[in-house]
Structure 1
Amino acid sequence: MWPEKGKRSTRIRRRSTVSCYFQHDCYFQPEIIFEILTRLPPESLVKFMCVCKDWNSIIRSQKFIRAQHDRSMKANSRTILVLNSNAPTRSEASLVYFDTLIPHTVRVKQPLNKLAGMTSVAGYSNGLVCIMRAGEHLVVWNPSIRRFKQIPFEQPAGAGKRYYGFGYDSTDDDYKLVRVVVFGFDGVSSEVKIYSLKSNSWKKIQGLPRIEDFGMLSLRLSSWNGVLHWLMCHKLDEQTHRLVTLDLATERYDELPIPHYNDGPQLTLGVLGEEYLYVSLHYRPEAESILNSRNDVWIMKEYGVATSWTKLYTFALEDMPQTPEYKRLAFKSYRHCKPLLFSETGEKVLLHVDSDTLYWYDCETKETKRVHINGEPSCYSTAIWKGNFLLSDGDPV
């Protein structure tokens, strides 16, 4: 027998007032809900904002964003962002997760897809990626929640070559972009400006320290622990280098020692897995076979201590199996081998070779394994990615 209409409608009305914290024995205190939500990936948080007003309010709060950000910074990320940097009319990007045996790839839209020109990575830190196109269009982008913020363009004082670096200043709790413009053929004069994500403004600081007869070598300033790093090379002696730093908090320049080397290698600088500063030494004896080319990678285990530079591995073509990939690299004579991150056991390193190939390299056995990802571009940039909820108030991609 059907209940009376009045009673039925009352029952439905009562159910509609149930709180999203649940009731009776299923009730959770807001503090517990807060803690649970901070442990979830950003992609899930975007969906959970639609569950109810209470959860939406929690996730949007600065307290929650800060807690989730701090948790993500402590996590060891094994995810990279792959950004197509080959075709000017295409703007593909993917997040590649290496937490499983087979890499899992998720396609994401990037915010500069409607502009002409090549897209490149200016820098990255803690899940935020700064990308640019045509040297003037820059954005700070959070791929995990598909949000970004446009960086206002600041006209340089004159024509010159531009260098960029992006990092996190924990003292001011601010993400900052540094632009270095070097003027003239001698490269003696320069202009350095810092963009603050918090204030959305630029400010000029002291120019690069004048190191006689030295010029910029690094194309990008590498960020580690709130400090930007780059290499400078002697203009008359290409085998003499200096490692210069800029502290984002104090805005002071300094120098660090570099590992000792012989035989005139080509040097590149970077950060391995957001854990170690590294210097890669590429040796290619011109009078010998291409197969003698190799990359020695050194990591600084104790920051600022010269004696802490330790050789992590040597990657050489002659150690690779005789596969079509081996023949292709030998034909090209690879020039750059960028270490990205460690495997879960720490025994292997993921390498990005010549901007178009990924390998797992075992530092002990010297074995290599080609990594194939879905929709792999013919040429691409990479960045270490960590999921967070920063820029939740930004523009949608």
Structure 2
Amino acid sequence: MSHSHIPPELITNILSHLPVKSLARFLCVSRQWYDLISDSGFIKKHLNRSVETNRDRTIILLEHDGSHCGNGFSFNFDDDEDQFCNAVKMYPPLQHCDILDCCDGLVCLLKGREEVVIWNPLLRKYRKLPSEKPKGVPDFWLSQFAFCHDHQNDDYKVLRLFQYNDLPIEIKVYSLKSQRWKKVEEPWPNKEICHWESASFNGVVHWLVSDFGVLDKESLLAFDLASEKFKLYTTPVSPDVDQETRLEALGGYLCFVVNVYGEYNDVWVMKEYGVESSWTQIYKIEKVAVPWDFEYYKPLMFSKNRKKVLLEEHWNSNPFPIEYDVEKIHSKNLIWYDIEKKQGKRVQNWSFPDAFRTATCIGSLLLLDGDSVIDPWQRNASPSEGLNLLLKAVDELENEMLEG
């Protein structure tokens, strides 16, 4: 029976269960399949299923050492194995860049102080944002970015803070849907940013702030990308001179981390978003839990049974402005921390780079219409090499269909 006799809704349902790599290949099956797979409704359906099932769970490692800054590696995993599969080399659309954030399979990259790219590493597609470099401003200025999904408008947005001397902070937002920057009219509150690193969650960007010159009264400042309004929340722990506090996103929660160098990482989540009384401590990593010295552990994701959390170990945990030395600020290991047993174990994998930053991804067809990332060695490929690549892809597709 040909596929023309299969009900369209059944074809849609079957295709929505497939991984990104297969769907990218099936775009060339027919015009009908191309229109279906590239339809915004199907892309959203496929993404929702990926979120529910953790399909195509992939970790991107962006290498940060002095000689190979910018090389990318990826590995996918289906369970909570201590030994991940070998990392596969990949090429990001920017070199000498850093990972800003990730959301729904998209990774936001930054190069310098103004070059921003939104990248789908599984599709190898990207979109470069138009430059927003301030005009008529000297070189000494600070800029900070955040990346998040605006659920209300179903739009992916990049937020940019710009500050020069003692002038008020300027806020602009880039919309992936409209493909343009917009200045936010809502003024920045009379607050000082304690850490120039934000946490994006639930369509809201968050910072730790305080009254000017009063660092012992820390608050959580939230900016809603849909309403473009600010709101203040209390934190679960009062600041202390000996501790460092950070914001992260973990397992569907806004996460507050208290770090005391070499002693412990204390981790809280806001169980019910927006409700300050719902702050709950979920784990605490103490010095006896790991047989090595540590500074800061960035939580990446829970295991499927939520009994473990995957952590990114940082050599230098101090928050940094946009001008930083990528050779000094990076991580060197991934760690599984067992919450019940209160034990940490490093992930041993010789295919990982020595120093890296990470992004976690799931299967997503977002940016299917973006520009293609071309590997450097393919840019100089001869026509005969291009034909060999095409024949190899056809062979792989035939083998995949036979195995299925």
Q: Scaled by the length of structure 1, what TM-score is found?
A: 0.82
1:247-298 Cα shifts (integer Å, max 9, x gaps): 111111111221124643100111013x1111110124xxxxx5xx111011
- Partner letter of residue 93 of structure 2? P
Correspondent of 2:94 among 86, 89, 112: 112
Q: Secondary structure at the match of 1:296?
A: strand
* Partner Cα separation in structure 1 for residue 36 and residue 18 of structure 2: 13
3-state SS in 2 of match to 1:55? helix
Provide closer, same or farther for how the CA distance between residues 210 and 134 of structure 1 changes in structure 2, counting only shifts above 3 A.
same
**Counterpart of 2:317?**
none
Q: Is it true that 1:178 corresponds to 2:159 in the alignment?
A: yes
- Structure-1 separation of matches of 2:232 and 2:174: 23
What residue is the counterpart of 1:6 in the other structure? none
Structure 1 pair 93/373, CA: closer, same or farther in 2 (3 Å)?
Answer: farther
1:224 deviation in Å? 0.9
Distance 2:335 2:310 in 1: 6
Matched, 1:378 2:357: no
Give the total of aligned pairs: 349
Among 362, 365, 369, the residue aligned to 1:393: 369
Determine if the alignment matches structure 1 residue 222 to structure 2 residue 182: no
1:270 corresponds in structure 2 to 248
Q: Structure 1 residue 203 and structure 2 residue 182: aligned?
A: yes
- Give the corresponding residue for 2:78: 99
Matched, 1:280 2:284: no
Name the aligned partner's letter for residue 35 of structure 1: N
Q: Report the more deviating stretch, 194-203 or 236-245.
A: 236-245
The one-letter code sitting in structure 2 at the alignment partner of 1:221 is S
1:319 matched to 2:273? The reply is: no
Aligned to 1:365: 341
Cα distance in 2, alignment partners of residues 234 and 314 from structure 1: 29
- Give the counterpart letter for 2:278 in structure 1: S
Q: In structure 2, give the amino acid aligned to 1:338.
A: K
Distance 1:208 1:360 in 2: 42
The separation in 2 between residues aligned to 1:98 and 1:309, in whole angstroms, is 31
Aligned-partner residue type, residue 237 of structure 2:
H
Compare 243-252 and 82-91 and name the one that shifted more: 82-91
2:146 corresponds in structure 1 to 165
Report if aligned partners of 1:257, 1:305 keep a CA contact under 8 Å in 2.
Answer: no
- Report what 2:225 is aligned to: 248
Residues 1:111 and 1:374: Cα distance change in structure 2 (over 3 Å): farther
Q: Give the secondary structure class of the aligned counterpart of 2:198.
A: strand
- The aligned residue for residue 345 of structure 1 is 305
- C-alpha contact 1:276 1:299 (8 A) present in aligned 2: yes
Equivalent in 107, 110, 121 of residue 143 of structure 1: 121
Secondary structure in 1 matching 2:23 = helix
2:50 counterpart SS class: helix
- The answer as to whether partners of 2:216 and 2:238 remain within 8 angstroms in 1 is no
1:89/1:134 Cα in 2 relative to 1: closer, same or farther (>3 Å)?
farther
Q: Look up the SS of the partner of 1:220 in the other structure.
A: coil
Alpha-carbon shift at residue 229 of structure 1 (Å):
0.8
CA distance in 2, matches of 1:85, 1:200: 30
- Residues 350-377 of structure 1 show CA distances to partners (whole Å, capped at 9, x for unaligned) of 1111121111111121111111345322
Deviation at 1:28, TM superposition (A): 2.3
Give ranges in structure 2 of 5+ residues lacking alignment: 315-330, 374-404
Partner residue in 2 for 1:126: 104
Instruction: Report the residue type matching 1:169 in the other structure.
Output: D
Tell me the secondary structure at the aligned position of residue 63 of structure 1.
Answer: helix
Code of the residue aligned with 2:288 in structure 1: it is E
Distance 2:67 2:99 in 1: 14
C-alpha distance 245-262 of structure 1, shift in aligned 2 (>3 A): closer
SS in structure 1 opposite 2:113?
coil
Cα distance in 2 for residues equivalent to 1:262 and 1:180: 24
Partners in 2 of 1:169 and 1:33 — Cα distance?
30
Q: Report which of the two structures shows the higher radius of gyration computed on alpha carbons.
A: 1
CA RMSD of aligned residues (A): 2.2
Check conservation: 1:84, 1:119, Cα contact below 8 A. no
Instruction: State the 1:379 CA deviation.
Output: 2.3
Asked if structure 2 preserves the Cα contact closer than 8 Å seen for 1:216 and 1:232, the reply is yes
Distance 1:263 1:61 in 2: 51
Shift of 1:68: 1.6
Residues 290 and 345, structure 2, Cα contact 8 Å, conserved in 1? no
Is the 8 Å Cα contact of residues 360 and 371 (structure 1) preserved in structure 2? Answer: yes
The 2-side partners of 1:263 and 1:154 are apart by 37
Distance 2:186 2:239 in 1: 32
1:294 aligned partner: 264
Residue in structure 2 matched with residue 36 of structure 1 by the alignment: 14
- Normalised TM-score (structure 2): 0.80
Structure 1 pair 390/99, CA: closer, same or farther in 2 (3 Å)? same
Stretches of structure 1 that go unaligned for 5 or more consecutive residues are 1-17, 285-289
Decide whether the 8 Å contact of 2:332 with 2:354 is kept in 1: yes
